[in-house]
Each structure stands twice: as structure tokens, then as C-alpha cells.
Structure 1
């Protein structure tokens, strides 16, 4: 007797896997970057946020 492998079922859901933008989190990260840059100007020349943060 051979092992039966179950068939792979395709899902009908086609939702994108892109993370939603969160403006409050983005503003918080921006303020944190500015704060760190002002506290440690010798070590931080530029604070930068990527597109999905």
C-alpha cells in the first residue's frame, strides 16, 4: 500500500501582504529620531525612516 499524499487546496483569498501605514507610529518615530539627533549630534548625523515604518 502506498502512502496517500493529500492534495494541496488553493485558497480563494487574494489579500495583499503589504503592511498598512500607521501615521501615529511614523510621527512618533520621527520625533524620536529628532530627539536622539539633538541629544547626540556627534554620533548621529541623520535620522531616517523607511517607507513602511
Structure 2
């Protein structure tokens, strides 16, 4: 996250509200950790009913 903050400052953004808005957008597009993805996959598997 520090890298993203540095990039925001390098672009010249100094307004705290705008920085917060950009950080929310950055977090929204970050990939989820593999463990979360695996957990979702396991919990969404539906049992087969014969």
C-alpha cells in the first residue's frame, strides 16, 4: 500500500479526501489472496444429489 500512496503523491494529489477516494478505488481492484479464493471455491461447491 505504501507504493500506491507514493504514486499518488508523485502525481501531485495532496487533498486528503481525493487520496482517500483513490485508495478505496485501488483496494477495490486488488486481487484477493489465494486463500480467500480457495475458501470461496470450497464453500460454493454444491453437493450432488442422486
TM-score after normalising by structure 2: 0.30
Query: Greater Rg, structure 1 or structure 2?
Result: 1
Higher RCO structure (Cα 8 Å, ≥6 apart): 1
TM-score after normalising by structure 1: 0.29
- Higher helix content, 1 or 2: 2
